[in-house]
Amino acid sequence: MLELFIRNLGDLNQSRHSAVIKTAVFCIIFGLPSAYSADIFDNQDWVWGIGLIFSGLFIIFAVMKYGLVKFKEEFIDQDSDFKIPTKYVAICLPFNIALGILLIIWWMSRDFTSGHAWFNESGAWNLFSAFSNATIVTQIGIVLMIGIVLNGFLYKKFIGDKK
């Protein structure tokens, strides 16, 4: 993961030395709270476990929008010794969408019986409970908003010049 971060910074015209230092500083700054507090660590585990499921769903929707057969032929079959049948992939995508949605519903429904409600005793949005659904929705919502805001810039930076 560190090398991926460093290479992404390199794609943004950072020198390798600068990218390594920025990656180390980033990891220290953003990793320190989780190292300092088990509650913060638990919260990050809880929130980003669901975040990874959302990420998988976004990838499935992107593949469906791109075209299943086109994606399979251009990205999977090209360097593969074993060709997976298109029917198999066509069955797996909707199955995995349903599985992802059910997993998110199951995971978030655990909040209803855990005592970590959406709202605290005063009726405010419960952001500071490690296992609250409110913190899941807030943190993932913030990341989605940042992604939407940066989408145009990233597209122009990496794709716009190549077309």
Q: Average pLDDT, stretch 112-132? A: 76
Among candidate residues 100, 125, 3, the one with its CA nearest the CA of residue 49: 100
Q: Average pLDDT, stretch 27-47? A: 91
Tell me the whole-structure pTM to 2 decimals: 0.76
For residue 3, pLDDT beyond 90: yes
Range of the domain at 9: 1-36
Say yes or no: 2 and 67 in one domain. no
Q: Which residues contact 159 (CB under 8 A, 6 or more apart)?
A: none
For residue 148, pLDDT beyond 70: yes
d(CA 94, CA 102): 12
> Residue 88: its pLDDT value, please?
92
For residue 85, pLDDT beyond 80: yes
Where are the alpha helices (H) located in 72-124, listed in sequence order?
86-114
Q: Average pLDDT, stretch 92-119? A: 84
**More confident site: 53 or 119:** 53
Say yes or no: 80 and 151 in one domain. yes
Say yes or no: 23 and 42 in one domain. no
For residue 115, pLDDT beyond 80: no
Q: Average pLDDT, stretch 106-134? A: 78
> Residue 162: its pLDDT value, please?
63
Say yes or no: 24 and 96 in one domain. no
Say yes or no: 26 and 42 in one domain. no
> Residue 159: its pLDDT value, please?
81
For residue 24, pLDDT beyond 80: yes
Say yes or no: 6 and 82 in one domain. no
Report the mean per-residue pLDDT for the chain: 89
Say yes or no: 55 and 86 in one domain. yes
Q: 125 pairs with which residues across the strands?
A: 119
Q: Average pLDDT, stretch 53-73? A: 94
Coil vs helix vs strand at 122: coil
For residue 55, pLDDT beyond 70: yes
